Structure 1
């Protein structure tokens, strides 16, 4: 796995091992960032279920002002830190070793707001529902924030309206999809 573009272009990142690890492939990562490239520069990025940190590091490499990485695994936090040091992007990053919903609640007590929230939760666990609920109750997103969920193709998002969100775009791949979510228009 490598950084696709920007200041850390072509640098190979460390990855996590394990049967439940599914790093986003370089091809899917490149497609994702081609879709959001106009929103990256100068943004505040939140990478939830960050794993190796590859998505947030890509955002930093492409000019995001800052990135907060959230993962409850000690192994993931260590991997993210090593990748940030290697790419020389650590000075614009914060690593939160925490449960995703708890991290969002903790961030809510600050004045921080994120322009882009990316999450790649474990598939078929409903973890994305809990995080979206936490986001809807938090103050860390604003009217123009973009939330991107990487999910299994069969994952349903029919509950979004109940949380005040709507799907603005969906990109399907062979085995998964990216769902682009924002606050409902009438709530903006």
Structure 2
């Protein structure tokens, strides 16, 4: 596993030991960031269920402004910090708590983010409860939410004002891209 492009290109990333963390593969990460393109530049990002921190580090390497890595597993915090130090992608912080608790707090504070990545463990039903939090304002009106799921997990086309814009399959993995529906975007 390595950083695909940008300032930290080619740096190897450490993985969390054991079977509980499944990092997004280089191939899937490369495809994801090719789709996002210029939207990464200057973005404030959330990397939910951060695991190794690879998605947030890749975003910083490609020009994102800041990343919050949200992860509750202590072994993963240590790996994220090691990967941040190795790549010198330090513009962010590791939030050591449950994803739902962190997202609820940011919602209560009125915070929103340009890019949100969520890659929870497959087949544990964690994506569907997360979508309404994003729709209530955690995703900025011009932002993009990227959910990673197993290929046999279904996600809705619409949740409140968020519309699934595309889904791309890579073997057993599917990336789902959500954005605000144009009709519901704030005017001005």
TM interval, shorter chain, is over 0.9
Post-superposition CA distance 1:38-80 (Å, at most 9, x none): 1111111110000000010000011100011001111111111
Q: TM-score, normalised by structure 1?
A: 0.93
CA contact (8 A) 2:158 2:164 kept: no
TM normalised by structure 2 equals 0.93
1:20-99 aligned within 5 A = 20-90=20-90, 92-99=91-98
When structure 1 is superposed on structure 2, of 16-25 and 119-128 the one drifting more is: 16-25
List structure 1 segments (4+ residues) > 6 angstroms apart after TM superposition: none
RMSD of aligned alpha carbons: 1.4
Distance 1:186 1:13, change over 3 A: same
Tell me the distance in 2 between the aligned counterparts of 1:29 and 1:146: 15
1:16 alignment counterpart? 16
**Distance between the aligned counterparts of 1:155 and 1:19, measured in 2?**
20
Deviations 1:70-119 (A, max 9, x none): 011111111111111111121x1111111111111112233532111011
Per-residue Cα deviation, 1:16-42 (whole angstroms, up to 9, x for no partner): 122232211111111111111211111
CA positional deviation for 1:173: 1.1
Would you say the 8 A contact 2:161–2:184 is kept in 1? yes
Task: Flag structure 2 segments of 5+ consecutive residues without an equivalent.
Answer: none
* 2:171 pairs with 1:174: yes
Is residue 119 of structure 2 the alignment partner of residue 117 of structure 1? no
Distance 1:86 1:72 in 2: 21
Corresponding pairs, count: 185
